[in-house]
Amino acid sequence: MRRIFLADKADFAGMNQAWDAWVVAGSAPVRCTVQAALMKPEYKVEIKIVAAID
């Protein structure tokens, strides 16, 4: 699962464009995007990835 935190919700459309360019059509992993105050004000996006390996 990917958790994407945006400092400004106005960047949501741009994030979707970047996401669609990155993932394989029809194979996008689960994702959740929210607006949040990030720890470093100069950051606009923070992404947390959780993966399980067998």
Asked whether the beta carbons of 50 and 13 are under 8 A apart, the reply is no
- CA dihedral (13, 29, 45, 22) in degrees, to 10, reads -70
> Which of residues 1 and 11 earns the better pLDDT score?
11
Q: Is 7 contained in some domain?
A: yes
Q: Is 28 contained in some domain?
A: yes
Asked whether the beta carbons of 20 and 50 are under 8 A apart, the reply is no
Q: Is 19 contained in some domain?
A: yes
pLDDT at 16: 93
Asked whether the beta carbons of 46 and 5 are under 8 A apart, the reply is yes
pLDDT band at 49 (very low <50, low <70, confident <90, very high): confident
User: How many structural domains comprise the chain?
Assistant: 1
- CA dihedral (21, 18, 29, 36) in degrees, to 10, reads 180
Q: Is 54 contained in some domain?
A: no
pLDDT per position as a tens digit, 3-39 = 999 999 999 999 999 999 999 888 888 899 999 999 9
Q: Is the pLDDT of residue 48 over 80?
A: yes
Q: Is 16 contained in some domain?
A: yes
The domain of 39 spans: 2-49
Q: Specify the CATH number for the domain of residue 24.
A: 3.30.1330.40
